[in-house]
Structure 1
Amino acid sequence: MSRAVSLYLPTWPTDRLRRSLGASAPPPDAPLVLVGRDGRKRAIVAANAAALELGAAPGMAVAKAQALIEGLEVRDADPAGDDAALERLAVWALKRYSPMVAADPPDGLRLDMAGAAHLLGGEPAFLADLVRRLTDSGVGARIAIAPTYGAAHALARFEPEPSVIVQRQDLEARLAPLPVAALRLDTATVAGLRRLGVETIGELAALPRAPLALRFGPEVGRRLDQAYDRTGEPFELVEAPELVRVRRSFAEPIGAPETLARYTGKLAAQLCEALEAKGLGARRLDLLFTRVDNRVEAIRAGTAKPLRDIPRITRLLCDRIETIAPGFGIELMTLTATIAEPLDYRAEASSLIDAAVPDLSDLVDTLANRMAHGRLYRCAPTESEVPERSIRRVEPLAPPIGVTWPNDWPRPSRLIDPPAPVEAMALLPDHPPASFTWGGVRRRVKRADGPERIFGEWWVRDGELAAVRDYFEVEDEAGERFWLFRRGDGEDPNTGDHRWYLHGIFA
């Protein structure tokens, strides 16, 4: 199922100018406009948010804007540079977010999340990450995800919320209150509809189609059908010339899953040959299926390390072949290595002493492409005395970091984070608990070892300057072993409130 994304950059020309000027750029809160020629007069082409708030608007004469806004910064517009930068942004989005990206001049991008949302952690995570990266780069952005690009385009530009996700069942209700200008109609058509009293998309959709076509032509009906997913809307995908790409076209359209899988294997072989010629291995693969109705279906797969193994690439792509809807047939298949890194297959000298290290990358690739982003990881130690801070997530095949956990005191196989409060009875200041209650069950302690004192990390938080924890490894009458700690040293209340917590369970 297609999930169209519209990325709207309302102040793209001024944002791009500020980025290109670097340290010499005017402050973000200073009004800035870009001007060009409109016949004989110089008119505003674009304005930043500060200038728009003070009354500047595209099409306004520069002299009027300067008289209206004190301290207005005026620069020459560069539409060609803006379009070129938008194409580069589309290539960046292609490599990071989606296998199907197109520039939508003059101020947006068009993406399709089909085949890639599962690798990004879902649509909300995708929205948050994309907006954060653009904001950190000084680029204002609004974004919408909807079943059709016409709907996403309208919502991104006319919905009050800057980030919108709309499901198919909510499409009509979200589109109905938007103005007719959201349908990408020309100015004359919008003015004509308003003279008839038609202000919103809902009002327009309720009118008979034939009189509209007779008065305004077929464009109004076509835009309505595109927004409501009654007709397709093809677009030209961006292509980066530096990417390794192979194609196969078909004189007769194909559609059977086994046929698609067979040609996927042939494309994988061609791609590996092209990668080998450049000494590269694929880290991300995009397989596009162009249908006879000009709609594009996609599969995206990632790898844990550079790869040009034909069977493995074929298997990774064919694992998701059932998600492809061939329609009336596929006439073109394109396989692209959107991310490729240097790869040298020369084997290292074998050792007669050390055991061979098993290669887990195949298993990691298979699992990672079936799971949501971030769900597959490995735990690694990090330098911290506080137990819950001594573990961090790393990539499954990340190299060793040269840090190990201390082995002078045992650590539980299961760590409870955050620690669970328990009711305990113990003699202060340094005796282990005689019993404790957890989950409504009272457990009598038979054996105990401790205390192991851990001090707070004052360089992390000021409140931990005097903080202390005393840890005990205890065993109850049933033979189960637990890791308990008391917050505080048992004497000074400034070190903690002397409450007890369960922090781990031993296997």
Structure 2
Amino acid sequence: MWFPRLASDRALRARPIDAPFALTLKHSNAERLQCLNVQAERAGLHRGMSYADARAFCPDLITRPSEPVQEARFLQTLRRWATRWCPWVGLDGADGLVLDVTGAAHLWGGEAQMLAEMRQRLLRAGLTVQLGLGDTRGAAWALAHHGEGVAAPGDMGAALADLPVAALRLEAAQDVALQRLGLRTVGDLAAADRAPLTRRFGPSLLLRLDQALGAVPESITPQPDPPHYGMRMTLPEPIGLVDDLMAGIGRLLAPLCERLLAHDAGARALCVTLRRVDQDSQQIELRLARPLRDPQRILPLFERGVGTVDAGYGIDQIRLEATQVEPLKPRQVSHIAAKGQDRLDDLISRIGTRIGLENIQRFLPADSHIPERSFIIAPAAFSTPQSGWASLRPRPVRLFPPEPVAGHGARPPRQFRWRRMSLTTARATGPERLAPEWWLADENWRSGVRDYWQVETRQGRRLWMYHTPQNPGWFVQGEFA
């Protein structure tokens, strides 16, 4: 199966357009056409054409940016769909599928009927497809790309004789060189002497020819389906007690974690579906602070959700699925560090089940000498602690917006009022001059540089104050513990 317009067909399935249409992709600092529909090709456009030239040829051209990741995912969806015809389905480049239908064609009434139904279903889905069928993978590829059809069994040479040499999946340089030598068709190449061709083009040319004609076997490697992390248990008698539900979830959790271990992965989110005898179902979702595959650590986190379940007349089926799975790298387990980190992750998960993982946050260092921008706040479950808090001068634990105080001169005032308190300066350390980041527009730093002081008062307050020389004034911005 070759889909010559896979990318554009996928985009037009979501938003149909009755006009010349193309997808663009940036290549070598230039926007170029990556995939076109039929109307754009009739207007004289082609793949690889620059976007500026295409608009000059066709002013009515409508374009969208290409999405290679989504297109590859769409091809994977087609691969899974194609397993309805045979179990052996593999990818062929970025726009094709290869199927081994040996022993499966009779289930559809023969090869011709099977191809007709394939084409009908794909056209109904809005996809352009060209099909080729032969005894070898190379012959099927050649027929799909250069003359859609079915090759007669046992005679690949006759079926491919009139096709161009490019049908052998050759490189562009080899194709051009063969045409200059007068070898334009597969029949001409098969009739030529092999020794001179091998000396000039190497063994790859004749290998492609032998693969297409069946002299050298070429296997099809089907891609396995992604692992499914789901377990289900159907109970002979309905249950409804919390202990019974927890026991059932525990029996499903053990094999699920074994499957995660086999694939070096951990569950980040799990979902338990409880089906009642009246066919109603309830779900319990659990989100974890870190990918886990330890049943003993995961099972207690379900207690809160299971306690809120309305069992009704009883639950007769339990289904457990890991809805979000992440790779879990091997790590060296230490009796000192690992246990402490695991306890912190479990604590974050427990609190997150009550208030949400996004509401548990931590401070991370940022690359800025400005106090307000020297840190960022990130969810603790989706970030890791980082170093980099080192500073030549100490920073206060509490930081707040600057609060003005009365004072004159370049040194901290001996007496001042702050937050309705009369304070007396006992000792002052400084100054530490900080300049604004001129490349960022910040209203709070329009007053220019700041001279920061550590001020200890006789009343026990340890404040972080600064003075603005350009616009004289004193402010309190932090307090030391």
TM-score w.r.t. length of structure 1: 0.48
1:501 matches 2:475: yes
- Map 1:327-406 → 2, pairs under 5 A: 327-343=312-328, 347=332, 358-359=340-341, 360-396=344-380, 398-399=383-384, 401-406=386-391
Structure 1 residue corresponding to 2:238, chosen from 233, 238, 253? 253
For 2:17 and 2:288, locate their aligned partners in 1 and report how far apart those are by CA, in whole Å: 33
Q: CA deviation at 1:339?
A: 1.6
What is the match of residue 407 of structure 2?
425
Residue type of the alignment partner of 2:247: R
Match of 2:195 in 1: none
Q: How many residues align structurally?
A: 285
Change (3 A) 1:465 1:458: farther
In 2, the alpha carbon distance for the partners of 1:285 and 1:242 equals 15
Q: Do the aligned residues in 2 keep the contact of 1:379 with 1:391 (CA within 8 Å)?
A: yes
Q: What does 1:4-403 correspond to in 2, within 5 Å? A: 13-14=14-15, 21=23, 242-343=227-328, 347=332, 358-359=340-341, 360-396=344-380, 398-399=383-384, 401-403=386-388
Deviation, structure 1 residue 384: 1.0
Which residue matches 2:437?
A: 457
Q: Mind listing any 5+ residue stretches in structure 2 that lack a counterpart? A: 1-11, 27-59, 63-69, 78-224
Counterpart of 1:481 (choices 445, 456, 462) is 462
Deviation string 1:232-286 (CA, Å, 9 cap, x unpaired) is xxxxxxxx97431001112322222222112111111121122223232211111
Contact 1:455 1:468 in 2 (8 A): yes
What is the distance in 2 between the residues matched to 1:257 and 1:333? 13
SS of the equivalent of 1:433 reads coil
**Contact 2:289 / 2:345 at 8 angstroms: preserved in 1?**
yes
Q: Among 399, 406, 411, which residue is 1:415 paired with?
A: 399
Deviation at 1:503, TM superposition (A): 1.1
User: In 2 relative to 1, CA 356–345 (structure 1 residues): closer, same or farther, beyond 3 Å?
Assistant: closer
Deviations 1:298-321 (Å, cap 9, x if unpaired)?
A: 122222322111111101122321
In structure 1, give the amino acid aligned to 2:424: R
Question: 1:316 is paired with a residue of what secondary structure?
Answer: helix
Question: Secondary structure of 1:320's match?
Answer: helix
Deviation track 1:57-114 (CA, whole Å, cap 9, x = no partner) reads xxxxxxxxxxxxxx798xxxxxxx9xx98x98xxxxxxxxxxxxxxxxxxxxxxxxxx
Matches of 2:250 and 2:352 in 1, distance apart? 21
Going from structure 1 to structure 2, the CA distance change for 1:291 and 1:348 (only over 3 Å counts) comes to closer
Residues of 2 paired with 1:412 and 1:300: CA distance?
A: 40
Distance in 1 separating the partners of 2:283 and 2:435: 53
Q: Deviation of residue 329 (structure 1)?
A: 2.2
Quote the Cα distance in structure 2 between the aligned partners of 1:357 and 1:270. 24
Counterparts of 2:21 and 2:338, CA distance in 1? 50
CA distance in 1, matches of 2:377, 2:17: 36
Specify the alignment match of 2:451 in structure 1.
Answer: 470
Over the matched positions of the two proteins, sequence identity in percent amounts to 34
Counterpart AA for 1:443: L
| Counterpart AA for 2:304 | D
Q: In 2, distance between residues paired with 1:443 and 1:498? A: 20
2:115 matched residue in structure 1: none
C-alpha separation between the residues in 1 aligned to 2:16 and 2:423?
64
Tell me the C-alpha RMSD between the 2 structures: 4.2
Separation in 2 of the partners of 1:268 and 1:302? 15
Structure 1 279/299 Cα, relative in aligned 2: closer, same or farther at 3 Å?
same
Q: Check conservation: 2:348, 2:357, Cα contact below 8 A.
A: no
Distance across 1 between alignment mates of 2:266 and 2:17:
33
SS in 2 for 1:321: helix
Partner Cα separation in structure 2 for residue 253 and residue 72 of structure 1? 63
Structure 1 unmatched runs, 5+: 1-10, 25-70, 74-80, 89-239
Aligned residue in 1 for 2:423? 443
- Whole-Å separation in 2 of the counterparts to 1:16 and 1:304: 45
Counterparts of 2:226 and 2:307 in 1: how far apart (Å)?
30
Gap change, CA 1:361 and 1:294, over 3 Å in 2: same
The residue that corresponds to 1:99 in the other structure is none
User: CA 1:466–1:423 in 2, change beyond 3 Å: closer, same or farther?
Assistant: closer
Q: Which has the larger radius of gyration?
A: 2
> Would you say the 8 A contact 1:287–1:334 is kept in 2?
yes
Q: Which amino acid aligns with 1:384?
A: S
Matched-pair contact (CA < 8 Å) for 1:457–1:465: no
- Once the two structures are TM-superposed, the CA of residue 390 in structure 1 deviates from its matched residue by 0.4
Q: How much does 1:366 deviate?
A: 1.9
Give 1:442's aligned amino acid: S
